[in-house]
Amino acid sequence: MSGDSPLYCVKMRASRDGAHISGAEKIVPASAVPGTAEALAARALAHPKGSPDDVRIKVERAGEILHLPSLPVRTYKTATAAEGMAKAAELLASDGVTRLPEIFARFRETYAMRGAMLLDADTLERLEPDRARGVRATYMDDAESAAKRSASGKNHYAEAIVLATKVQAAPGVIAEICVSDDPDYLTGYVASSTLGYCRITTIKEKGDPAGGRIFLYRGPREHVPETIRFLEKQCVLVEGVPVLAPPPEAPETRWRGLREDLDAVRDAGLWRTIRTCESAAGPHTRIEGRDLLVLSSNDYLDLARDPRVVEAAARAVREYGTGSGGSRLTTGSQPPHEALERHLAAFKGTEDALVFGTGYMANVGVITAICGRGDAILSDELNHASIIDGCRLSRADVLVYRHNDMDDLSRKLSACREHRRRLVVSDAVFSMDGDLLDLPRFLETTRRHDAFSMIDEAHATGVLGATGRGLCEHFSCGHPDILMGTLSKALGAEGGFICGSRLLVDYLRNRSRPFIFSTSFPPSVAAAADAALFVLEAEPWRAEAVRRNARALVGELARHGIRTRTESAIVPIPVGDETRAVRASAALLERGVWIPAIRYPTVARGTARLRAAVMASHTDEEIRFAAGAIAEAL
Ligand code: WAQ
Ligand code: MG
């Protein structure tokens, strides 16, 4: 195929400030030289390592050509670098190469080399005359290039097989180990004439820029110059280089894992479905045509359908439209957003406030803004998932302390003195148990350790305290540094908020990613929440009514022999087994009462429960009826 017309070696080398960026070579017929030179130049100029200031293309007439059959290829799948190196060691040991850990350690020296290390396989002496450069295998190509076309893009795989095939033909070379120095290319190989080309899918850690090649030599010293001459000068064309098959298109495999996970969810009694309520939120709804008494809503004060709240939202829709149009920092801030923030700050007694799209975003947004690497977050073991996710996303060290245990908290804080910042975060009302944070001791403990204090008042705002202002009012004590709450529960709207000092809120406006990078909720939502706050201020008896109803439900349940307790609107009814809890919830639906089963991962495995929540507008009669239905369903 190459005998009739002469072949040319076309080499490309690109560098910047004298530092090597990339290189490649092709052996092609004269007619393909211009196209090849152009393709190699394009490759040099578009190299991911950076743009070169010097690109050299060299064209030479090829000398005498040696044709070699390609090494056969085998692939070994490895998951980690350690596993990959162990595989390489095992393969080479079967080929008579020992001292592998020591050989691997030499890759530290090859990183800066453009060529390969030529190592005596037994004494581990380096044999290259120029140790900084190493030995370069050149004048080689896939015979396909010589037969027809010019160069295409970089193909690690085909180029490596060509090189490995030539190297194994060099006199005295018994094996090669190769690790790419592309930090994202984790596949390497070992090669020998008996093993062939053995790809090892993961041979180094992701992000590690150190790579290199080691050629292992066994033979007399006086033959080393001939080995190097062969590697650096002999023209080689490799025939039958295998084409790497594209990964099989296998939808069944792709989806199988998801299907199996879901089957396990179903088997464990953890399958979740959405039920659609065919009416406004409130103490009654219709589901699939049936009227139900709702004991599961967070709309504790029954404000989501209050005519004053609805009217405020409707007016805002007419005035400002349905969407806010952008992030608050671009175009998405309207007068209702600002009015609401002023109102929230006044209601909670803080300098300033900031609203977020959801309560989840408020928790994630404040925790990740305040804490990062090198900080410590101390989090109650029963905190809500949005707090847990904020902790995880922050990359801070997270210490989970025992539920409401201020002694445990204090001990853990003592262990974090070296951290830059300490943030202690707790639910005010624990959402699945209905109990309260011991706020006075929490504040005393966090102050003593100079830690930021944060409470999540999702289930406290509108429920606790004589006028529904939350946990601080309940205990008649001072404020934590960060007061988080939601607009979507007692305030009948949507969103989350942070109340605190002006410094804190300025910081969040500038640093909180969920705030900065989300479209704000529509002005009608802000208007609704604002109106709900006015209703609560005018009718504080609503907060008292919620607490009275919760106590009434606990009392009625006790009459049926069911023991539970609450300090909020949430009444947990313990069941234990996940499947039993789901069955009890279904039996309640049959009786016209809607109370959801709460299971893992919302609560610990084996502590499934019915989670009842009362509203201000439930009647005594409804509470009695619900308690009777619960007793029957369990
Ligand atoms: N001769 C000798 N050593 C070389 C040569 C050469 N022609 N080219 C590169 N090296 C050395 C040099 O030290 C490099 O830093 C090192 O090898 C790695 O080169 O999927 O991409 O170009 O089967 O980073 C192997 C797996 C990919 C392919 C190898 O090497 C697969 C790779 P890189
Ligand atoms: Mg190198």
Give the pLDDT of residue 526: 98
Backbone phi, then psi, for 140, in 5-degree steps?
-155, 155
With 50 as the cut, is the pLDDT of residue 151 above it? no
Q: Hey, what are 614's tokens?
A: 């009362």
If DSSP states are collapsed to H, E and C, what string results for 414-441?
HCCCCCCCEEEEEECECCCCCCECCHHH
Least confident residue range of 63-77, 188-202, 275-289: 275-289
Give the pLDDT of residue 18: 87
Q: Mutate which of 213, 227, 231, 236 to test ligand 1's pocket (most atoms within 8 Å of Cβ)?
A: 213
Please check whether residue 167 is in contact with residue 231, taking contact to mean a CB–CB distance below 8 angstroms. yes
Catalytic positions are 431, 459, 489
Non-local (6+) Cβ contacts of 250 within 8 A are none
Atom 19 in ligand 1: residue holding the nearest Cα: 180
Report the alpha-carbon distance of residue 501 to residue 482 in Å, rounded: 8
522 or 242: which carries more pLDDT confidence? 522
Q: Compute the distance from residue 192 Cα to the ligand 2 centre, in Å.
A: 20
With 50 as the cut, is the pLDDT of residue 281 above it? yes
Please check whether residue 43 is in contact with residue 166, taking contact to mean a CB–CB distance below 8 angstroms. no
The mean pLDDT of 484-498, rounded to a whole number, is 98
Give the pLDDT of residue 2: 43
Report the alpha-carbon distance of residue 428 to residue 435 in Å, rounded: 8
Q: Compute the distance from residue 180 Cα to the ligand 2 centre, in Å.
A: 8
Cβ of 196 closer than 6 Å to ligand 1, yes or no, is no
Whole-model pTM: value is: 0.60
Cβ of 166 closer than 6 Å to ligand 1, yes or no, is no
Q: Mutate which of 47, 181, 238 to test ligand 1's pocket (most atoms within 8 Å of Cβ)?
A: 181
270 or 298: which carries more pLDDT confidence? 298
Give the pLDDT of residue 251: 57
Q: Hey, what are 140's tokens?
A: 């080689």
Which among 464, 510, 512 is positioned nearest to 485, based on CA atoms? 464
Report the alpha-carbon distance of residue 508 to residue 118 in Å, rounded: 58
Give the pLDDT of residue 153: 52
With 90 as the cut, is the pLDDT of residue 88 above it? yes
With 80 as the cut, is the pLDDT of residue 611 above it? yes
Q: Compute the distance from residue 408 Cα to the ligand 1 centre, in Å.
A: 55
Please check whether residue 243 is in contact with residue 171, taking contact to mean a CB–CB distance below 8 angstroms. no
Report the alpha-carbon distance of residue 594 to residue 586 in Å, rounded: 8
Sole residue written with tokens 């989350």? 496
Atom 4 in ligand 1: residue holding the nearest Cα: 115
Q: Hey, what are 324's tokens?
A: 């806010």
Quick one: what percent of the chain has pLDDT higher than 90? 82
Number of the ligand 1 atom closest to the C-alpha atom of 213: 17
Cβ of 116 closer than 6 Å to ligand 1, yes or no, is yes
Cβ of 189 closer than 6 Å to ligand 1, yes or no, is yes
Report the alpha-carbon distance of residue 459 to residue 566 in Å, rounded: 12
Number of the ligand 1 atom closest to the C-alpha atom of 163: 7
Cβ of 113 closer than 6 Å to ligand 1, yes or no, is yes
Which among 355, 378, 383, 391 is positioned nearest to 453, based on CA atoms? 378
Give the pLDDT of residue 150: 44
Report the alpha-carbon distance of residue 84 to residue 252 in Å, rounded: 28
What 8-state DSSP symbol labels residue 242?
P
Non-local (6+) Cβ contacts of 254 within 8 A are none
Give the pLDDT of residue 269: 77
**Per-residue model confidence as pLDDT tens digits over 562-597:** 999 999 999 999 999 998 999 999 899 999 999 999
Atom 26 in ligand 1: residue holding the nearest Cα: 188
**Per-residue model confidence as pLDDT tens digits over 401-459:** 999 999 999 999 999 999 999 999 999 999 999 999 999 999 999 999 999 999 999 99
Q: Compute the distance from residue 98 Cα to the ligand 1 centre, in Å.
A: 23
Please check whether residue 508 is in contact with residue 366, taking contact to mean a CB–CB distance below 8 angstroms. yes
Cβ of 202 closer than 6 Å to ligand 1, yes or no, is no
Please check whether residue 360 is in contact with residue 502, taking contact to mean a CB–CB distance below 8 angstroms. no
Give the pLDDT of residue 592: 95
Atom 24 in ligand 1: residue holding the nearest Cα: 180
Non-local (6+) Cβ contacts of 565 within 8 A are 434, 435, 554
**Per-residue model confidence as pLDDT tens digits over 222-251:** 999 999 999 999 999 999 998 876 655 555
With 60 as the cut, is the pLDDT of residue 173 above it? yes
Cβ of 328 closer than 6 Å to ligand 1, yes or no, is no
**Per-residue model confidence as pLDDT tens digits over 159-169:** 999 999 999 99
Quick one: what percent of the chain has pLDDT higher than 70? 97
**Per-residue model confidence as pLDDT tens digits over 3-22:** 567 899 999 999 999 888 88
Give the pLDDT of residue 252: 65
Q: Hey, what are 540's tokens?
A: 């504080």
For residue 181, give the ligand nearest its CA.
1
Q: Hey, what are 589's tokens?
A: 């639906």
The CA-atom distances, in angstroms, between 128 and each of 105, 118, 119, 220, 229 are: 18, 6, 8, 14, 12
Q: What is the mean pLDDT of the chain?
A: 93
Report the alpha-carbon distance of residue 1 to residue 348 in Å, rounded: 86
The mean pLDDT of 353-361, rounded to a whole number, is 98
